[in-house]
Structure 1
Amino acid sequence: MATYLLLCSVFVIVLVAVVCVAVRFCDLDHVDLGATLWKPAVSVKVKRRAPQTAPAAGANLERRAASLGPMATAAEVAQWMVDHIRAEGLEHHDVMLQEIAEKFGDRWTPLNKHGHPIIDPEVQRLFRRLHAGTIERLGNEWSVVDPD
């Protein structure tokens, strides 16, 4: 019995040492194992709101995005983002990522170094230039700035 406990103790110590070495040499210091393990169990789906503008404006945006498709440029994606947020008044970041990927392709929503989807940096730069301060991002939502 004592040999079995000793063997288990040595195994645990070796396993801990191997994990520590892997974390150190594989640059895994930034990985949050708790969040990574629980992410699939607690993923949240954001429901899409009904448009706040007239249906014709939304239909034009959808038609325009569909005509651009996967051959769209960064400027066209950025312009669509500006038009979409102005039409909706408010949009969540995750919904925007999903819609960009669906309408324009995964090219414009690459993964960052942590494996999370982002909006292409070139699209973000052009988006900021196009809206010129009329749209703000607070937390994970974009909204139109009140002129007051």
Structure 2
Amino acid sequence: MPTTPTVLFVCIHNAGRSQMAAGYMKALSHGAVEVRSGGSEPGDQINPVAIAAMAEEGIDISQAVPQLMTTEQVKESDIVITMGCGDVCPIFPGKRYEDWDLADPAGKGIDEVRPIRDEIRRRIQALLAELLPAAVTR
């Protein structure tokens, strides 16, 4: 793995789960990980409840914009984390893929999104502990 690992987070609309994961990875890695996110069918805006849930954690994802996941993003990433996008993500030999089975926060209230957010944080912390064992990720 290179000095600065690259992680791509992918979900369908790139408006909730992948944006929360990218927000946590950026904040908790302190720039030690290059972070990308994309969607197979990007929405037109970030889920406002996801924005609110992350704001409670002191992480601002309000300026993020849903993006289409590209083949180049996948090729240039060391780890590809999918969240409910099925088999639309291109597969390249030598890449590490993980599928995180997480509920979609779309249409849910803040009380339902918090546990999703918290599970994403837990998984990001575990991934960071593996990628950057000497780094402080709390």
| Fold shared, TM-score > 0.5 on shorter chain | no
Greater fraction strand: 2
Higher relative contact order (CA 8 A, sep 6+): 2
Q: TM-score, normalized by length of structure 2? A: 0.28
Question: Which has the larger Rg?
Answer: 1
| Structure with the bigger percentage of helix | 1
